[in-house]
Amino acid sequence: MKEIEVKILDIDVPELIRKLQELGAEKVFEGEITAVFFDFPSDQLEKEGKSLRVRKLGEKVELCLKGKKEKSRFKVREELEVTTNNFEDTLAIFEKLRFKKRFEGRKRRESYQLNKIKIEIDTYPGIPTFFEVEAPSEEEVVETVKKLGFTEEQMSNISVKELFRIYNKKYE
C-alpha cells in the first residue's frame, strides 16, 4: 500500500482540533507512542532510504517496513504493516537476528479519522507540535489541508529525522 501524506509544522493545536470537530472527524487514538527503528549492521536499509519500525500505540503493536520516499512535494512511500501481539517479543526477534537499533523515541499523538483521511497530531519533546494528513490520493491530501485552513505552501514532505536535525535534537 502507498502512504501519501504531508506535514504542517508549528500549529495551533486547539484551533486545529476545533476545525476537525467542525468537519466531523472522529478521534480514534490519544496517547503515547513508542517507536523503535531497526537496520542491518551494514546500515543497508538507511542507505536504500527504507525503514523498519516496531511501534506501540497504547495496547496496539505494529511492525512496519517503509520503502524509499518518492520524489514529490508529498511524502509518498510504499508501506507494509502488520499487527503483532507483543511489543517486547517483537523487539526481541530483531535483536536476536542481530539487527541494530537505529532510533528509539517517544511522542504524544492524537489521531483523527475523517472518512478515508487520517489526521495525526504529533508532539516530540523539544519540537513544536505538527500534524500529518494521510489520504489515498494527493488530491484528497490537498483538499483536506485546505478544509483545515492551511495552504499548499505550508505543506511539507519533511521526515521526522530531518525535523530532528532542524531543531538540533539527537536522532540515532
Percent of residues, the chain, with pLDDT higher than 70: 99
Q: 149: how many CB neighbours lie within 10 A of its CB?
A: 12
CA separation, residue 110 to residues 31, 146, 151, 165 (Å): 7, 20, 22, 23
Q: What pLDDT band is residue 171 in, cutting at 50, 70 and 90?
A: low
Q: What pLDDT band is residue 73 in, cutting at 50, 70 and 90?
A: confident
Mean pLDDT of the chain: 93
* CATH hierarchy code of domain 2-166: 2.40.320.10
| Region of residue 28 (left: phi > 0; alpha: psi -120 to 50; beta: else) | alpha
Is the model's pLDDT at 143 over the cut of 60? yes
pLDDT in tens, 41-66: 999 999 999 999 999 998 999 999 99
pTM metric for this prediction? 0.89
Domain chopping of the chain, boundaries: 2-166
pLDDT in tens, 18-32: 999 999 999 999 999
